[in-house]
Amino acid sequence: MNDVKNIPITDIADFESVDVVEVLVKVGDEVAIEQPLVTIESEKAMIDYPSPLAGVVQKVIVQDGDKVKEGDTLITLKVSADTSAATSKDKVTEQQVEINSNATHPINNQLKSNSPANNERTSHSSTAYTSPGTHKYARELGVNLNEIHGTGRNQRIAQEDIQLYVREQLQNSSVRQNKFNKSLDFSEYGGTTATELTKIQKWTADNMLNAWQSIPHVTHFDQADVTQLETHRKQLANDLEAKQIKLTPLVFVAKALVATLKKYPQFNSSLDTASETLIYKDFFHIGIAVDTPHGLFVPVLRDVDKKSLEQIAVELVEMSTLAKQRKLTPKHMGGASMTISSLGNLGGQAFTPIINPPEVAILGLSKIILHESVTAEDIKLRKLLPLSLSYDHRVINGADAARFCTHLKSVLEDVWKLIL
């Protein structure tokens, strides 16, 4: 006989509650195991929460915009007979995904696995009780966990505890004055409208502030002559138009950046301040900052060194679309070698992009500039791409940055280096 079961939300990591962005099923729908039931949002990510069982939806408990906490029922499900053996599973098997990014970026935790190997545990380098992801988050901010009182179960330290600790330290600093923290009131000057920040926007703001205050930023500016590259790109774009593939300059820059990271591996590293070591990465994943109405997201293109220009172009469109539709999940983000922040055709000749920790550099692109090159023989119109390379001065010095940009320019200016 078929059973009717409540399907609760479980294992929402360190979050007290999460928002229900969208309910994906309705009464009468047949759902399969692992089929998404709702899309939920935390400060770090949007995740489609899957069903642990198959069956027919009897009742939908939650609505768009609701807040849910651990154990709250999402739906009631009439469980199919052939999946009754699976009812002993009280929780959905999930995995913890590590994300940085910084965002531009990035997310540190997805819903975590229930297997003993992935349960919350005590850090090896601290007596504080926390999860590995939270411990890594503290290391990135240079925070000593032994100085923090955990508010979670069994005094477990959550990321919110770390953020509160950092805020308190900043407020106690002479640099942070209380007058800057009071609420703003412009009513005496005229009408105003207040719009609450989304969780992604709040997290991005905190991450950018922490990155700017904890990393000594230096920005190196340069320009690459992409006249030849643009000619070749337009020729390829015409060939790919029939496949409805958009080939942008960003695709070429991603490939050129990988070639330069191979030449200068210190840029493809992360500084572990806890162990005072520099961790070099053997992979080449490129983060792409995507501006959306909901906030800044940094999806990551994996193994760019192993993909063709066409493959990268397709994946770039897919990732941008997912970001704008608020459908990115932790598997799409984090673990980047380096991030590209492109202003595209918006304008400007240079800017200082903020590093997305734990990366040690970020590349900013501005609008291509048309420049007249005058010689004794003739006048040629050249296309110059402004480059803004921000780097962590603890890891990279000015000479390194200059050499990096020089090599990046040489690749962008010689299209054959990208093809071969």
Q: Is 289 exposed, middle or buried (0-12, 13-18, 19+ CB in 10 A)?
A: buried
- C-alpha dihedral sign at 24, 292, 163, 125: positive
118: its two tokens: 């992935």
- Main-chain phi, psi angles of 104, to 5 degrees: -60, -60
Contacts 24+ apart (CB under 8 A), 128-132: 128/157, 129/154, 129/155, 129/156, 129/157, 130/156, 130/157, 130/158, 131/13, 131/14, 131/96, 131/156, 132/96
- In single-letter form, the type of residue at position 367 comes to K
Helix (H) or strand (E) holding 188: none
**In sequence order, what DSSP letters do the residues of 353-390 get, joined into one string?**
PPP-TT-SEEEEE---EEEEEE-SS-EEEEEEEEEEEE
393 catalytic residue (yes or no): yes
Classify 194 as helix, strand or coil.
coil
How many angstroms separate the CA atoms of 391 and 401, rounded? 8
Look-up of token digits 């009464």 = 27
Q: Which of 105, 285, 393, 407 is flagged as catalytic?
A: 393
CA-nearest of 232, 280, 286, 234 to 259 is: 286
**65 vs 18, 19, 28, 35, CA distance in Å?**
10, 6, 22, 20
Which of the residues are catalytic? Answer: 393
